[in-house]
A and B are shown apart, each in its own frame.
Chain A
Amino acid sequence: MANKISRRSFLKIGGTVGTGVAVGLSTSSSKTKAAVKKNPQKVEKIPSVCEQCFWRCGIIATVEDGVLKNIEGNPLNPNNRGRICARGNAGVALLYETDRLKNPMIRSGERGSGKWKEVSWEQALDYTAEKLLAVTKKYGVEANALFSHASSGEHFNNLYNYWGSPNQAAPSFAQCRGSQEVGFELTFGENIGSPERVDLANAKVITLIGSHLGENVHTGQLLDFTEGIAKGAKVITVDPRFSTAAGKSKWWLPIKPGTDTALLLAWINEIIKQKGYDQKFVRDNTVGFSDLTEHVKDFTPEWAEKITEIPANMIRETAKAMMDAKPAVVIHPGRHVAWYGNDVQRERAISILVALLGTWGQKGGYFLKSAFPYSYNALNIPDSPVSKRQRVDGAGYKYPFGSVEEGLTQELVKATISQKPYPIKSWLTVAQNVLNSIPNQADTKKAIDNLDFFGVVEVRPTEPTWYADVVLPEDIYLERYDSLFTVTGWHKPYVALRQPVVKRVHNTRPGWWIVKELGKRLGLSAFYPYNEFEDVLKYQLKDSGISYTKLQKEGVVTFPGKQYLNPGESYAFKTADKKVHLYSKELKDLGFDPLPKYEPVNDPPKGYFRLLYGRMPVHTQGDTESNPWLNTLISEPHLWINETIARSMGLENKDEVNLENQDGMKTDKLKIMITPGMRPDAVFFPHGFGGNDKGLLNFGRGRVSDNILITKYNVDPISGSTGLRVNFVRLIKDDKILSPTVEVSFTGVNAKMNSGVQQVDQNRTFNIQPKKKASAIREGC
């Protein structure tokens, strides 16, 4: 029980020990046992916006006598319609979490020694500015790099823009959505945004290809997904693993990892062959249909069967389901799509399929982005300087479609190691765990060693915090203002306000304040003509027609949007010729394939499995593992392994194994989960646990991080994003390397009849009936 602390006992401790750290803010008196008694004197319901993940649901906080009692969904916010997930509910525990960073700190020992001294904000900011200015003086302003993420990242991006350093990157592009956005932009001239504009609630067929909705809990989308299913939508799930979504599906296609583009091309082939595409849409809106037809003519379901190990009849059956249901078909583009380094082309194949089925702007397909009817007042600040030197990550030139807004994290790491084309000598990371999000931890550590200055802005310690020279602890989302959330690409467009729901608990500060104070010290006062961020928000809205008071009271203002095209209405696509590019001349001109091809990826060597990873419904990457309410639900990852293979290696469900990848990187022990719902050639475990979170006091220590094993990655030449599913692992138990003694043909395709190895038809070997007393795992993945 020592580590398990409830809010009540926390409050008692707060009341007993007192705080004494808050500067100018008394919080301890309100957090006594009396404050949570049955009849509080003052109960407030304050709306705001969640940030336990990037979905940003509307929330309403119940605050009793200054203490946060609970968080509920804001029914007025169309993004989540009154509901919030486990993480959203657990925001209460984050606020009072013992692991939070509570004071600014300056390193007092060697870098990585974990020795700190607590300092005042003045001292911390003076020190940070002094170091940043020293780097600037010696190497130029561009030598200062920023790794940012999330809402607070935005404030820091602005700071670095005002300052003049283009070297900024977020993992949300290169390690996540980048190739999806690029693929769709090449085809349609626009991406489908975040939240993705997929009309799951009205779809008749939903195809998930590498999207595990249900384990990635994006509230609004999940509400639509379950509504769609309740209304009879048939789901096709393409996944090597039997995901939660697979459990809701009519068809589970356990595809051989890395062969998705072959399946997509076969679907395109079949749909064209059967004339199952939207002929009017293709005629009126697309270019390159004849090239496409010629290109895919040999990519038959039989061709794809050998590659994907999905039986040809199943490819035909699912193609027919999509053709019959068009245009009410959602082919989800996925979100984390950084898989193999040829990901833009796979996303191009998805977007071509979407175009052929004519689902753009149609009910049950992809819905439209609405026009924003308001305009905000712009702050009266100087123009940002234009950087004299080109950014080092190659976004926009070496990688022609690499995002210049979000940058390429791994390329920024590489440049920091090589110091080319010019030195990068300081890093500031903001709400980004650079060691657990960017592949190849050794490179990231090497880059950190090269720095003159490494600063971390965080709410709780993560692996990089351990190496920081200065730690600037940020208010959590419940304690601060951020920029307005203006979302036009959702069913009902809206503007939502984040506002503090309680007084801050520790000696932390909001991101907007940190940049303003740091900006002053960097000579950028002219960019911050305000004292309070609330005044900025009020000024922005003053002439917009949106009432700030209403936002404050209700948390959100919605406006009518246009989701669907009227019958017969044409749509001006955002490409230069306003057409949908089935054939991409843009790619051809840059020397890339104008039509997507299937490129094989290496198979795992004998005795190795492909390493797959993914999400858990109760954790947001590495952000939440130390939250006691979430940690109690899933406290450690389990390794999914195919039942037949596991038994052949003598493994039992309670066993633990070490994993070792192709480069000899070895993990600590990991529990296994034996299941028939996993392909035999791959293993899976959820992302988000820290291997060596030395800074975490209570939770999450010593858990295995998948990122330790992701030493290798393939960079997509078009987008610059990192393909991470190219690592292989073998299993080690009690220092003995385990090797499967059988080969399994999962779907009956590609069974090697005369290979001399014992053949197992999984269907017959294990007739698994519900066990009398199956033990529950708190895994949920």
Chain B
Amino acid sequence: MKKYAMVIDMDRCVTCHACEVACRSHYDVPVPYYRNWVHALPPQGVYPDIKKVSYVGLCNHCDDAPCVKACPTGATYKREDGVVVVDKGLCIGCGICIEACPYGARYIDPLNEKVDKCDFCIDRVTNGEEPACVETCIAEARIFGDLNDPKSKVSKLVAAGAQQNISSKVNVGPNIYYLDSHDNFPIIKAAFPPKVPKMPTPQKMWTNVIRPLFWVAIGGTFLGQMAAFATQLFKGESEVKE
């Protein structure tokens, strides 16, 4: 069984943002949302020991993914190969998973009101291609592969000391690793620590999930179908307006 992971080589990354735009292009990610990101920090430190670093991030496809636990409908799930994906058919756009994610890797696409996030380009990978961000990277700073294969480049880099963005408070087994030989990664960990996952409270479950589902159930009747149809129509129009 495969276990997909990615290594970001911070020594190579030049903060060019190509990965971000390639992802936007391949998945029609609407501005200003993103599935992956490069956050540049201003140079900091004390002369002559100044550092300029960027946080290159994406969904960490965590082993113990809080988003999977938080999702009330089972739309977000972890595949056998480790990739965390969203089944758009099951997603109700409640947004609970967004609050559960320690890395800010999810957003609701305003065009279909479903949650979207990085899926490691699993369709491309299945076709034998690299993820779009890896393929375009002009510094060859992104390495994708199978952690369960000890011969893979990612396995070797992890064995060589690539690190995860985890803290004493939050460690949910992320599968994005950072390679850094200049002591730059502590700056990233300090500036962008993983957030403590906000798991759904009973009240939130009621307002965001159970109540909408109740209406969906009513939608089983003829009247409900008509209402849903009308809602659909209305939504379709508002999309065009945008």
Contact = CB atoms under 8 A, between A and B. Distances in A.
Contacts of A82: 135
B50 interface: yes
Given A85-B18, A676-B47, A770-B187, A70 B26 contact: yes
B17 A780 contact: yes
A595 to B, nearest CB: 32
A433 interface: no
A86 B23 CA distance: 10
A628 B137 CA distance: 20
Given A72-B135, A632-B31, A676-B45, A214 B14 contact: yes
Nearest to A627: B21
A638 B53 CA distance: 17
Most chain B C-beta atoms within 10 Å of own C-beta, residue among A72, A247, A252: A247
B208 interface: no
A4 B26 contact: no
A230 interface: yes
Interface in A1-59: 1, 4-9, 12-13, 16, 36
B16 A676 contact: no
Interface string B21-50: 110111011111000001111111111101
Given A222-B16, A617-B15, A674 B139 contact: no
B81 interface: no
Contacts of A632: 31-32
Interface string B94-137: 00000000000000001100000000000000000000100111
Contact of B53 (A36, A213, A219, A247): A247
B39 A72 contact: no
Contacts of A8: 28, 30, 111
A90 B191 contact: no
A776 interface: yes
A219 B48 CA distance: 29
B26 A629 contact: no
B88 to A, nearest CB: 11
A226 B14 contact: yes
Interface stretch (A356-364, A448-456, A759-767): A759-767
A89 B25 contact: yes
Contact of A7 (B22, B28, B40): B28
A606 interface: no
B140 interface: yes
Contacts, number: 200
A73 interface: yes
A217 B42 contact: no
B42 A673 contact: yes
A677 B21 contact: no
A1 B14 contact: no
A777 B52 CA distance: 12
A771 B190 CA distance: 7
A770 B186 contact: yes
A312 to B, nearest CB: 15
B178 interface: no
A213 B132 CA distance: 23
A534 B18 CA distance: 32
Given A770-B44, A770-B187, A633 B30 contact: no
B91 to A, nearest CB: 17
A628 B29 CA distance: 12
A6 B27 CA distance: 11
Contacts of A417: none
Interface residues of A, number: 78
Interface in B156-192: 186-187, 190-192
B80 interface: no
Contacts of B38: 780
Given A86-B16, A618-B17, A80 B24 contact: no
A678 B9 CA distance: 26
Contacts of B30: 4, 6, 8-9
Nearest to A776: B39
A677 B43 contact: yes
A85 B138 contact: yes
A196 interface: no
B11 interface: yes
Interface string A602-614: 0000000000000
B21 A777 contact: no
B143 to A, nearest CB: 12
A468 interface: no
Nearest to A638: B42
Contacts of A219: 138
A556 to B, nearest CB: 18
A654 interface: no
Nearest to A219: B138
B43 A227 contact: no
A92 interface: yes
B17 A84 contact: no
Contacts of B44: 675-677, 768, 770-771, 774
B28 A629 contact: no
A435 interface: no
B55 interface: yes
A246 B14 CA distance: 11
A248 interface: yes
Contacts of A9: 30, 111, 239, 242
A766 to B, nearest CB: 7
Interface in A226-273: 226-227, 229-230, 242-244, 246-248, 252, 254
Nearest to A762: B47
Given A86-B20, A214-B15, A780-B38, A773 B191 contact: yes
Interface of B: 9, 11-12, 14-18, 20-22, 24-26, 28-32, 38-48, 50-55, 110-111, 132, 135-141, 186-187, 190-192, 239-240, 242
Given A1-B242, A9-B242, A85-B136, 15 more contacts: A4-B32, A5-B31, A7-B28, A9-B111, A9-B239, A13-B240, A222-B138, A244-B14, A244-B52, A247-B50, A252-B50, A617-B15, A632-B32, A677-B50, A777-B42
20 contacts: A5-B31, A9-B239, A12-B240, A70-B25, A83-B135, A85-B136, A89-B24, A213-B14, A214-B16, A222-B14, A226-B12, A226-B139, A242-B52, A244-B14, A629-B21, A762-B47, A766-B46, A768-B46, A774-B44, A781-B40
A-B pairs, top 5 by smallest CB distance, nearest first, are A677-B43, A776-B39, A247-B52, A6-B30, A214-B14
